[in-house]
Structures are given as C-alpha cells and as structure tokens.
Amino acid sequence: MINEQTIKPEAQHAHCTGVHELIDWEIVQHRRAVDMHRLELSKKQGRCISWDDAEEDYSRYDSVSRGEQWRVEFCGMICKHRSSCLLALHFLQSKHTVALHKAG
C-alpha cells in the first residue's frame, strides 16, 4: 500500500511523467487567465488594454498562486498518469487537497 511515508523518499527522485502535457496545459491556462484579466482591466479602465500589458499586470499580482493551483488541478483531474505517478501522489497528498472529480 502506498502511503505518505513510502511516497516521500521515492518522490524526491521522481520526475513528472506527464511534464510535456503539463507545460502545454499550463500555457493554455495562463493565456485564458490573462485574457480574462485583460477583459476585467479593460472594463475597469474604460479602454482596450493590450494583451502584453494585461499579462505584465497579471504576472505581477495574480499568477503567484496559480501555478500551484494549476498543478493540483492537472495532477488530480487531467493527467493520464495520475494514478501511477509518485510525484503526483506526493504533490497531492502533501498539499492536503480534496479529491477532484470531473463532472459530465
């Protein structure tokens, strides 16, 4: 049985088995988040904000917590290797996350 004590030592040397999918997915999530942030900024300022300016503002204020949130979401719901990846199991257990379920 895999538990937190058995995962920790092994996970220190483990690598994300879905790293390429993770990076691609994070890029899409980042672009969506910046698009939403750009829309909010544009409405607030009453003018069209450039994507680059919105990305700079987003990166300065909002993106700090997103990386961890996206990793939990990807490892918990999306990655096809999530059930066998020691790094994903370690990451999800160490962050004390709630189980995520896909709807639909």
How many whole angstroms separate alpha carbon 71 and alpha carbon 104?
22
pTM for the full predicted model: 0.65
Residue identified by tokens 């909002």 is 62
Spatial neighbors of 71 by CB under 8 A, at least 6 apart, are 22, 91
- Predicted local distance difference test score (pLDDT) of residue 64: 64
Residue identified by tokens 């990451």 is 91
Task: Confirm if 81 and 88 have CB atoms less than 8 A apart.
Answer: yes
Q: Provide the residue-wise pLDDT of the chain in tens; the chain has 104 residues.
A: 334 444 444 444 457 777 888 889 889 999 999 999 999 999 999 999 999 999 999 888 766 677 777 877 888 778 887 778 777 777 667 655 455 555 54
- Predicted local distance difference test score (pLDDT) of residue 19: 81
